Chains A and B, each alone.
Chain A
């Protein structure tokens, strides 16, 4: 069965420090990969996505993610975290040629310390 794993439930970082949020997926072929961010009381906003090509993708708000096929991972990174980055982050997988099948991870909550 397809699955998306975000091993870190909660992460705390200091403002200005670097950030990496982990995401692993289980699927037989390369899926479409996404990262979403959710601020408190809000819906999910798309940060970035990977379909094919360059394995390092750039997103909004200074985020980037790297697809590593050998590790079935799509980790999200930011070199310097801002206090406004405190939010819930969701990794998601879309399966090619399956229309609407979409799987979300359980999320990682990010706290930023001033």
Chain B
């Protein structure tokens, strides 16, 4: 149990589908992140939420839509994705003021067909 739980672990979706990824942390952290990890590419920071406000959006296509309803939950809403969006999506959390490192979830393996 890492303290950061992601569901589902695996997701296969068609390009016209709408789905959501969920992340939940039980560590009392106040910042949460979405990363994309594609094969043979560096980790890509997608979104940062600090104190439930989005503070960073790294030029992510609008077909990805994050939501942070409270400090413990983070969602990534997906719609009309492309095959190149297939990747491992990782959620992480941290305590903003300390920068003591991130705690990661196990990720959601997304396949777009």
| Inter-chain contact A96/B106, CB cutoff 8 Å | no
Residues of chain B lying within 8 A (CB to CB) of residue A32: 99-101
The total of Cβ contacts below 8 Å across the A-B interface reads 63
Contact of A102 with B100 in the complex, beta carbons under 8 Å: no
List the B side residues contacting A90 at CB < 8 Å. Answer: 43
Contact with B along A4-46 (1 / 0, CB 8 A): 0000000000000000000000000000101010000111111
Q: How many residues of B contact A (CB 8 A)?
A: 26
Q: Which partner residue on chain A sits nearest B88 by CB separation? A: A41
Closest 5 CB pairs of A and B: A43-B104, A44-B104, A94-B99, A43-B106, A106-B42
Give chain A's interface residues, CB within 8 Å of chain B. Answer: 32, 34, 36, 41-46, 49, 51, 90, 92, 94-96, 98-102, 104-107
Give B contacts to A, CB under 8 Å. 2, 4, 6, 31, 33, 42-43, 48, 50, 55, 88, 90, 92, 94, 96-97, 99-107, 109
